A and B are shown apart, each in its own frame.
Chain A
Amino acid sequence: MTNEELKTTITELIATAAFDETGEWLNVVVDPKEWLTLALQLQNHHSLYFDYLFCVTCIDWKTHLTMAYHLSSTSYRHNIVIKINLDREAPEVETVSHLWQTANFNEREAYEMFGVHFINHPDLRLLILPDGWEGRNPMRKDFEDPVNMIRL
């Protein structure tokens, strides 16, 4: 499916979705509240069938956080990027680890590195950071570690 077709199909599913076509793939910006319903339909819709979540990223824009989900379909081979803007102070979004099992680890990584809270995640614990790590999220832009960080 081309980007245009994807756009029309997704508009039918979620009326409030905003689009950005500057990149290689179609970017869809959705509200965190609508993410779970969209995710369900993206995975199961007969002409979309996005079954392969290949990249989960969080970006700290200093004013807000953005979760980026890179999705692909193994049957149709089309790609899409879903973006969800989150409040930087209390970032909360529904988990999709029950839809794409790879999200389990990736969301745990985003949780510890950016402090994004994934609602209903089955196992939201620290994955990479050592036990007992508290508070500060190392990948945020305002994180400072005077000992280990080297500024060039």
Chain B
Amino acid sequence: MVEEIGTTTEGDLIINVGPQHPATHGVLHLVITLNGETVKKVEPHLGYIHRSIEKMCESLTYRQFIYVTSRMDYLSSHINNHGCALCVEKGLQIEVPARAQVIRVIMDELTRIASHELWWGAMAMDIGAFTPFFHAFRERESINDIMEETCGARLTMNYMVPGGVMIDIHPNFQKKVKDFIAFYRTKMNESDELLTGNIIFQNRMKGVGLLSKEDAISFGCTGPTARGSGLNCDIRKLYPYEIYNSVTFEEVLETSGDSLARYMVRLREIKQSINIIEQLIDNIPEGDFQAKTKAVLKLPKGEFYSRVETARGEFGVYIVSEGGTTPYRIKFRSPGFANLSALDHMARGSKLGDLVAMMGTLDLVIPDIDR
């Protein structure tokens, strides 16, 4: 191509993908400059689902604001709640009982499996394979059933509260989780048989959407997106919270930085999550599921930052407190926002079909980006 990629010249085709488009999985709006089939520039326009959660939280108490955060990254709402609860606990220096810590980690990992499963199905749909979606949802449904029994909800659980978890686990919980893992182990290879080994799929993913390690750091990419480029960025390993330093699991890394690497990282992460759950499910200690806390929480004056590893990457909660019952300013560092900013860089020069596949491997959740 003679002209420079990244600039718009006369005769370029500019198409709007979204806010209503099957590939965006939500209300993301991308303005794409095309030369024939080749992408020259991708410009995200955000805000179609912006609810200004940060501003809302300024008028909610420290107990209330956690519920709003479930609505950000709705696929890993447990982990969002967890991050917020951790930040409040850090401010109040609450010691979380051992039982609550284990329950939290099990819930986080179940959420991660459910989220990755949904991503797997949705990404397969992006590249034109419809069947994996239903297979993914079968597994996700079993997790949702487990969640429903204990938390009372299937999507926005609101289970983590400052000091522990809201209610104790259901008596069936351990049995159901074990049943799920036994069932899942038999179905795990299905994903490889159905999609990963397919030659069309391999050709669509290999060498597409390259993101170097340096760029991944510079764009602030985290989670499986950055780990596909070989960057150690798993918060569970780097800054272990709860009991993550006492369980054995592997930080999944791939080095090629293409779509296939990001895909493989997520699939292998599911297996690691299963390992973590298997280590913990029989060893939930007896005791309180919630620490004794005051009815009205007041964080001391100061700034608190906590970070957790969601299914999409590093989720940070930054609370600026003036000593009142509500946060003065709260900032959510959402992983999707940073991952999306790398899309333009990755997509330039590739084909339109690949752009859709790339968006699939970034695992974008739009409410998480817009907040």
Q: Is the CB of A60 within 8 A of B329?
A: yes
- Interface class of chain A by DSSP: loop
Q: Is the CB of A59 within 8 A of B305?
A: no
**How long is the Cα–Cα vector from A27 to B320 in the complex, in angstroms?**
13
State whether B218 touches A51 (Cβ < 8 A).
yes
Determine if B318 and A57 form an interchain contact, defined as CB atoms under 8 angstroms apart: yes
Q: What is the interface residue range for chain A against chain B?
A: 20 to 34
- Choice from A23, A100, A101, A139 contacting B302 with Cβ under 8 Å: A23
B60 lies within 8 A of A152 (CB): yes
Between B220, B222, B337, the greatest number of chain A beta carbons within 10 A of the residue's beta carbon is seen for: B220
Q: Which of A18-54 contact B (CB under 8 A)?
A: 22-25, 27, 51-54
Q: In whole Å, how far is B353's beta carbon from the nearest beta carbon of chain A?
A: 25
Enumerate A106-146 residues with CB–CB distance to B below 8 Å: 106, 127-130, 138-139
Query: Which residues 312-344 of B have a CB within 8 angstroms of A?
Result: 314, 316, 318, 320, 328-329, 331, 333, 337-338, 340-342
Answer whether residue B139 sits at the interface, using C-beta atoms and an 8 A cutoff: no
* Contact across chains for B316 and A55 when beta carbons are under 8 A apart: yes
Contacts of B295 in A (CB 8 A): none
- CB pair B50–A128 under 8 Å, yes or no, is yes
The residue of chain A having its C-beta at the shortest distance from the C-beta of B45 within the complex is A127
Contact of B47 among A22, A53, A130 (CB under 8 A): A130
Min CB–CB distance A10 → chain B (angstroms)? 19
Q: Which of B46, B333, B345 contacts A127 (CB 8 A)?
A: B46
A77 near B50 (CB under 8 angstroms)?
no
Nearest CB of B to A84, in Å: 15
Partner of B341, one of A27, A55, A102: A102
Interchain CA distance A54-B219 in the complex, whole Å: 9
A70 engages B318 (CB within 8 Å): yes
Q: Are B217 and A55 in contact, CB atoms less than 8 angstroms apart?
A: no
What is the number of residues of chain B that contact chain A, defined by CB distance less than 8 Å?
41
Q: State the CA gap A105–B40 with chains docked (Å).
A: 19
* Cβ-neighbour of B219 out of A22, A60, A77, A101 (below 8 A): A101
Asked if A127 and B47 make an inter-chain contact with CB atoms under 8 angstroms apart, the answer reads yes
Which residues of A have CB within 8 Å of B219?
Answer: 101-102
Q: B217–A139 contact, CB under 8 A?
A: no
Asked if residues A23 and B60 are in contact (CB atoms below 8 Å), the reply is no
Q: Are B329 and A152 in contact (CB under 8 A)?
A: no
Q: Cα distance A24–B54 when bound, in Å?
A: 22
Chain B's closest residue to A126 (CB) is B47
Q: Please tell me which one of the listed residues A51, A68, A138 contacts residue B55 in the complex, with CB atoms under 8 A apart.
A: A138
Q: Which of B220-277 contact A (CB under 8 A)?
A: 220, 222, 231-233, 238
On chain A, the residues within 8 Å of B329 by CB distance are: 57, 59-60
A139, B55: Cβ atoms under 8 Å?
A: yes
- For A102, give its contact among B59, B218, B231, B370 (CB under 8 Å): B218
Question: Is A3 part of the binding interface, using a Cβ–Cβ cutoff of 8 Å?
Answer: no
Q: Is the CB of B59 within 8 A of A53?
A: no
8 interchain residue pairs of minimum CB distance: A102-B220, A128-B47, A57-B331, A105-B341, A55-B333, A101-B218, A59-B329, A128-B46
Residues of A whose CB lies within 8 Å of any CB of B are: 22-25, 27, 51-55, 57, 59-60, 68, 70, 74, 77, 81, 100-102, 104-106, 127-130, 138-139, 151-152
- Besides A101-B345, A102-B338, A106-B337, 12 other A-B contacts (C-beta < 8 A): A24-B305, A53-B220, A57-B331, A59-B328, A81-B303, A102-B220, A105-B338, A127-B46, A128-B47, A128-B50, A139-B54, A139-B55
Q: List 12 A-B contacts (CB under 8 A).
A: A23-B304, A25-B305, A54-B307, A54-B333, A55-B316, A60-B329, A70-B305, A70-B318, A101-B220, A105-B341, A129-B50, A152-B60
